[in-house]
Amino acid sequence: MTATAVIITSCTQRKSGRHHVDLTQLPPIGNVEQLAEAWQGLVGLALPVCPARSLYRGRSITDTAAAAAYLGSSWYVVSAGLGLVCSDQPVPAYECTVTSGSELGDRLKLSGATTADWWSAITALQSLSLSRLIAQHPTLLALPSSYLRMTHDDLARVSIAKAGNLRIFTSKAGAQVVPEHLAKCVMPYDDRLESVRNYAGTQSDFAQRALRHFVEALGAASLPLEEARTKVSAALARRPRRPRTMGRRMSDEEVRQVLISQWVRHAGSSARLLRHLRDEARISCEQKRFGRIWRALAAERRA
């Protein structure tokens, strides 16, 4: 990887401003291709509100932007609603996620389609795809398992010859869904990263934290593939794994009250509040559940 790498990250559910476009504005549509076409028509009518880099919020975006600035690289976002977008691209405010229980997730389930089917449909008319971008540039790809499932078929089109262009940052679960011929491109990060000062965080931003560590702490972005893997392994070799402990169980309302009591101290940061629940208060709260409670509370405080 001698040339400056481009960086690709996942979008976030946290966005600036209010959502102007969402799938509830469309009638039931059974076919995934027709649904994607109708959705793109809806998005096309919406006015852009800001560049993609300003729309998405959260640590995963902050760490991606920092890594890109460190390298002087351009960066892109994998969006379930917009496809592959450059961080400088003007985009509308929207809500579209493939998570289980979401509007899109429910519609795909009813139609018998997969998230990979949706990605194929939503990017069919785009001039740029993940596989084309990777073929053209050295690429640092930081995606959680759900996004790797969604983009699986696109990534599968990366040739063996071009696989050397790619470094993948993801969780253990994500590594299991990477196309087989790209398995060696996964950098061997694991939960030992949590013991590295300034790089601990939540599971939702693990991929981007690993990316930033790789770029800033290791300076490994330009290394050949095997040397890069070796450097990551060596950096984590003597790091301890975080012990898993069972936290106290609480109702949603009890968790909400803890968040209220800690809101000012942690400046309302979802990452810091979740870390407080787990590490300081020793409260058991699954990440998706926490996100739901936090978003409701954040909305209340903005009202």
Write out pLDDT tens, residues 137-150.
999 999 999 999 99
Residues 6+ apart with CB under 8 A from 161: none
CA distance 79 to 251: 32
pTM of the model: 0.82
pLDDT of 3 reads 66
Write out pLDDT tens, residues 107-155.
998 889 999 999 999 999 888 899 999 999 999 999 999 999 999 999 9
- List helix spans (H) across 57-96: 59-71
pLDDT exceeds 80 at position 41 = yes
pLDDT exceeds 60 at position 2 = no
Copy the structure tokens of residue 104: 């899109």
pLDDT of 66 reads 97
245/76: higher pLDDT:
76
271/295: higher pLDDT:
295
Residues 6+ apart with CB under 8 A from 39: 23, 26, 81, 96, 122
pLDDT of 283 reads 87
The residue type found at 64 is T
Residue 114 exposed, middle or buried by CB count within 10 Å (0-12, 13-18, 19+): middle
Q: What whole-number percentage of the chain has pLDDT above 90?
A: 61
CA distance 250 to 94: 32
pLDDT, mean of residues 61-66: 96
pLDDT exceeds 70 at position 1 = no
pLDDT exceeds 70 at position 246 = no
- Under 8 Å between Cβ of 16 and 54: yes
pLDDT of 272 reads 81
| Average pLDDT along the chain | 90
pLDDT of 119 reads 96
Model confidence at 249, pLDDT cuts 50, 70, 90, reads confident
pLDDT, mean of residues 82-99: 91
pLDDT of 303 reads 66
Residues 6+ apart with CB under 8 A from 124: 33, 36
pLDDT exceeds 80 at position 73 = yes
Q: What whole-number percentage of the chain has pLDDT above 70?
A: 96
CA distance 188 to 172: 9
pLDDT of 291 reads 87
Instruction: Give the Cβ contact number of residue 171 at 10 Å.
Output: 20
pLDDT of 265 reads 84
DSSP 222-284: TS-HHHHHHHHHHHHTTPPPPPP-PPEE--HHHHHHHHHHHTTTTTT-HHHHHHIIIIIS-EE
Residues 6+ apart with CB under 8 A from 66: 212, 216
Residues 6+ apart with CB under 8 A from 79: 11, 52, 85, 96
Copy the structure tokens of residue 44: 């096309």
Give CA torsion, residues 18, 68, 140, 270, to 10 deg.
-40
Copy the structure tokens of residue 63: 């760490």
CA distance 149 to 83: 14
Kindly report which listed range (31-35, 51-55, 83-87, 201-205) carries the lowest average pLDDT score: 201-205
pLDDT of 223 reads 95
Strand 94-95, strand 50-51: pairing: unpaired
pLDDT exceeds 60 at position 84 = yes
The residue type found at 286 is E
Residues 6+ apart with CB under 8 A from 65: 53, 75, 87
- Under 8 Å between Cβ of 185 and 163: yes
pLDDT of 244 reads 59
